[in-house]
Structure 1
Amino acid sequence: MEPQIHLGYQAQLANFRLGYSRVGCALAVVLVLGGVALDQAFYPEQAGILGLARLLASGFLTLALIALFSPLAGRYVRAITLSWLTLPQIMISWMIYHTQGASSPYVFGLSLALYAAGIIMPIGFLQGIALGVFTCMVYIFACVAHASGGSDNASMLAGNSLFLLFSATISAGCTWFNERARLQLFQLQHEVSEKNLALQSTNQALAEIKGHMMQQEKMAALGTLAAGLLHEVNNPVNYSLMALNMAQMDKAVMASADLKESLADAKEGMQRVQGIVSDLKTFAYQKPGDDASRIFLFEKALKSALRLTGFELKGIEVTVDLPMDTHVRGDEPALIGVLINLLGNAALALQKSARAKPLIEVRAKRLDGRLQVAVRDNGTGISPANLQRVFEPFFTTRDVGKGLGLGLSVSYAIVHRHGGELRVASEDGAWTEFSFDLKLATDNA
């Protein structure tokens, strides 16, 4: 983690230094030229020569500013920054030499430049020390050179040199503390960024868990509802079917076409109610029975499902890709029902899409002690708005009277009862794939 933080910090610091160096260099150009007012106030008789020195220094600073905008500025920003920081110090030291030496008030300009470099500019600790030592050296050199041409105050030179040394020490200390503060700030930003990423991942996981729990709650609620309805509805339905069967055998009914048709319609309606009750039993009794862990051949179950849906799959190419051994544990009739439902839905989607080459792919593979099964079609796909609702009880996109929306809900409950999960993936207008997994007959398979 530390090397990553270090590399990230260095990259961020390089951009930080470059931006501040550009601003600082531009400000230095303005301040150097603006110092003409000081020349007029302190040494009006030498304002011309001092102004030329300022103009020359500002010219070099402008070249440094241009270099800071060059393609290589990012790589050499430290060297360029330290170079232009020395330019005002050289200019001021020359002014000190040209005016009054140690008695010149321009010594305060050197001190202010050191403070500005240490507090504002993003230079390193060693760079701060180097700038302070350089400033003290050029100041002493300027004062000594001035004294050699006449007289100078030794005590003033010593005092100002000590003052500059203090300023250089404070400037270097500021650069050290600023460097530490920037590193700590970056580490804090790095930690916050990592925690935000972890939080996003956690929120996504929680959202998935919430959706799964909501689905389970819906299944449990429907199971409770179904359990209450079974005894209340199933017996009257059976009585009604028996009565209808007896009525159909009556001579008067057989002699009347209208009565015969009416009783046939009534019987068909009651049989449909009976089918609904049968589907609801899946939710009412979700505990595994004696056949829940029986070993059977999935390939055989798939063939049965394909035979039972043969009429619906007419004209559709069905490809099957299974491993050599497909022995699994579970309730074979219930899982055949799941396959029938998935194949029937795929066939309906292909009919709606009117593909030139309708195709259903059934694939399975052995993975981590389970058989992973997928049923994919190149039909109409499922819209994103409906994708999260396909397993909801009574949700259907079929026309009125052509489906109750219980097929996928029943299949979901059956797969869940077998310790797996029925999943769906789709691209609207292109394809749909339902997948689930079953426990293999042997753990080491």
Structure 2
Amino acid sequence: MADARPPPERPKGLDSLMPHLPMDGVDESTWVDVIQKMDEVYSQLISDEIELEKKNTELEQSQQFIFSVLSAMSDVLVVCDEHGRIEETNAALCELVGRSDEALRGALLFDLLADEASAERARSVLGHHEAPRRGEGLELMLLDAQGHAVSVDANCTPRVGPSGHRAGTVFVARPTAELKRAYHELRSAHEALKQAQQQLLHSEKMASLGRLVAGVAHELNNPISFVLGNVHALSRYSERLQRYLGALHGGASAHAMADLRQQLRIDALLADLPSLIEGTVEGATRTTDIVNGLKRFSAMDPEARSCVNLCEVVERAVHWVRKGQAVGFELNWQPGEPAWVIASGGQLQQVLMNLLQNALDAVAGAGIAPPRLWIELSRSPQRLSLSVRDNGPGIAPEHLSRLFDPFFTTKPVGKGTGLGLSISYGLVEQHGGQLSAANHPAGGAEFVLTLPRAPEPTPLAAPSVR
């Protein structure tokens, strides 16, 4: 705060002079009035002096505040007049260009720019008399203290003078090199996170696939055994046919050929061939279907979306879960009319298999027999809701809020990854839907999957059923 100035000295001797002043035509009361007025003027002068000191102190504090704000700014600040001459700077600019505030004041803005393109852009902004109040953005190249070009992203705002006309421009700029580096690092981290998410998704899918191995092995064993038996029979038939044809081409008599035909049972062989070939083709086709189903489920999903019948996805999920179960379960499920959604069929199948398998594990862990599952589909004009309910013990209240957290599991060590429900929750969200869990009033846990409903596809566009 500035030192208080001494109040103006009060005129002295007025009272003492009064009796010695000529009194011709002026009475004493007039002089008293004059002295009172002089006292009032003196008092007003003292008051004005105090108010001036107060305003001066406030002005100094405001200047200190503005200076502290400018010094604290990490962005560089340049205030120019209409000709581009620098009027004000801040500490960030001085540090960047390696020049003091005194050296910068009065210099031209163009002296700080690294190339002619930046100078042209700056001239264009300075000459824009109708610049918007919110400012204009442009990229400039400044020369730093070492003489290197530094890219800055500047916002240029017009500065209006007392007359209301544009008096100059305020440049507030931020070096973009650090921002670009941070952006690239963030982008790289995001790509790494996406790859890790895909790996987790595929790992969980492989864990689910591992549970199906025993059931699939039994499923494959039947058609393969059937094909193998048919191939052995065809091999024996081939030997008999070769023997018969060898005798025929060897010139054997008709009587000998008739005896050989009866001995080799050629007629029965020929009658059996169509059924053997048909059975072999059927077994091979069945094996191909099983293998293709496993390949579709285990392959890395490209997240392609198409019109999918949710009822068919449920049927496939139930089929594969049954194959992986050593003990059967009762299922209450009425698919009804097709329920169309725009989705990735493989990802929805993984979600439903996770829900079904978790329900069966919960029932088995509680020792309840037989396991029962209820699957119900409800429809509204905009949404489809699929609920999966079991006859298990339900979900503990303290677990409800953590059910979809990554790596959270209530299963024993080695029995669960804690990723199934978390991944399912994320997949459903990616499809614009919701996945929730609660305890059903009739007992057991209930998971509800809600998805946006898609219009029924035209017959030509309807996907084939596999």
TM range (shorter): 0.3 to 0.5
Question: What is the TM-score when the length of structure 1 is the normalising length?
Answer: 0.35
| Structure richer in helix, relative to its length | 1
If asked which structure has higher relative contact order (CA below 8 Å, sep 6+), I would say 1
Question: What is the TM-score when the length of structure 2 is the normalising length?
Answer: 0.33
Larger Rg: 2
